[in-house]
Amino acid sequence: MRKHPVTLGEGHTPLVHAPTPNIYFKLEYLNPTGSFKDRGTAAMMTSLRNILGNLRGVCEDSSGNAGASVAAYCAFMGLPCVIFGGGSMVSEKVLQVRMYGAELRLVEGSRQKVEEEAVNYAETNGLLYVGHTWNPYFIEGMKTVAYEIAEQTGWNPPDIIYLPVSAGTLLLGLIKGFRDMVEAGVLEKIPRIVAVQPQLNAPLYAAYKKLDPAPFLLGGSVADALTQTNPPRLRQMVDVLEAFGGDVEVVSEEDIIKAHKQLAWAGFYTEFSSATAYAAVRRRLDEIVSSQEKILIILTGLGHKSMEQSKLVQ
């Protein structure tokens, strides 16, 4: 018998008009743990429980937001949880993971090394490695963003959607959700999707534009949630963007910081990672206003997750 879904009330986030004409914000930072990751975690944990039955415990690797999300849902389910994160994980996310009762293990080195440590630990200790960047159920949860956008815009979605991208779960889920609706005859077309990355860490941009990746993998961006240097679904992201006429843009650290401040001054306190998408839109505000294109920006993470960073750039 199928059990009730595992949910903390994720989804149904507001879609609001920005101060600038033609621009709208989808406030994904208002999900239960302060990021869009809760959608994927809810679908993933529900599916794994229904398929596998009782779980002994789970293990996950994350730059912060997914780890906090998995920790919260495991706490709700009464499951032991071990999160592996990078040594540079910001203090607010460290605290958030631990407050949910999860064990947090910080690993120095690349994002890939963190993942390897998590997989090895799970195998050695009999835990389930859930791996949100790989897990297909996580992406299924992300499709709900597309469904909500369509419904909230009266089935007349925006012309272009901008979003920050790292591992690509939101990007892939968004396109998959819109594709579902087009195939079902609910929508006529998929909005143009523009992925945005910090110039200091932009593997998707380099791959999509067929550039030498080295100059785009320097690291150290203030957008701490966008740390994937070799995302496992990189080829898949390139393929779907090419297939559906999307694009990838990069923004400088200066532009990210300016966009972060402008969002906050307008009443939207987000992570720096969320501000990358707004930074890309800011560069063409005059063009957007004159063209009458309807633009939606997905604001993915809550600003309270990066308060110390905010202090440093004031």
Q: What is the pLDDT of residues 153-205, one digit of tens each?
A: 999 999 999 999 999 999 999 999 999 999 999 999 999 999 999 999 999 99
The pair of structure tokens assigned to 198 is 């910090």
β-pair partners for 295? 23, 160
pLDDT at 314: 62
Position 309 pLDDT exceeds 80? no
Whole-number Cα distances in Å, 58 to 78, 118, 122, 255: 11, 10, 8, 38
pLDDT at 1: 43
Question: Could you give the CA distance from residue 153 to residue 156 in angstroms, rounded to a whole number?
Answer: 5
The pair of structure tokens assigned to 177 is 């959700």
pLDDT at 21: 86
Least confident interval from 167-176, 189-198, 221-230, 244-253? 221-230
Query: According to CATH, what is the number of the domain 39-129?
Result: 3.40.50.1100
Mean of the per-residue pLDDT values for the chain?
Answer: 94
pLDDT at 290: 77
pLDDT at 2: 53
Mean pLDDT for the stretch of residues 241-265: 97
Class of domain 15-35+135-312: alpha beta
Question: Could you give the CA distance from residue 106 to residue 225 in angstroms, rounded to a whole number?
Answer: 15
Whole-number Cα distances in Å, 130 to 24, 47, 59, 109, 301: 33, 11, 6, 21, 21
Q: Which residues contact 53 (CB under 8 A, 6 or more apart)?
A: none
Q: Using CA atoms in the order 255, 260, 264, 270, what is the torsion angle rounded to 10 degrees?
A: 160
Choose between 79 and 2: higher pLDDT: 79
Residue ranges covered by each domain of the chain: 15-35+135-312, 39-129
pLDDT at 232: 92
β-pair partners for 192? 160
Amino acid at 29: Y
Position 311 pLDDT exceeds 90? no
The pair of structure tokens assigned to 242 is 């090419």
Q: Do domains 15-35+135-312 and 39-129 have the same CATH topology?
A: yes
Residues 132/169, Cβ–Cβ less than 8 Å: yes
Choose between 284 and 31: higher pLDDT: 31
Query: How does residue 54 score in pLDDT terms, banded at 50, 70 and 90?
Result: confident
pLDDT at 306: 78
The reported pTM is 0.94
Residues 36/28, Cβ–Cβ less than 8 Å: yes
Nearest to 80 by CA among 104, 47, 58, 65: 58
Residues 69-95: pLDDT tens digits?
999 999 999 999 999 998 889 999 999
Question: Could you give the CA distance from residue 91 to residue 78 in angstroms, rounded to a whole number?
Answer: 25
Percent of the chain with pLDDT over 70: 97
Nearest to 30 by CA among 47, 13, 5, 49: 13
Mean pLDDT for the stretch of residues 104-133: 93
Mean pLDDT for the stretch of residues 214-241: 93
Query: How does residue 31 score in pLDDT terms, banded at 50, 70 and 90?
Result: very high
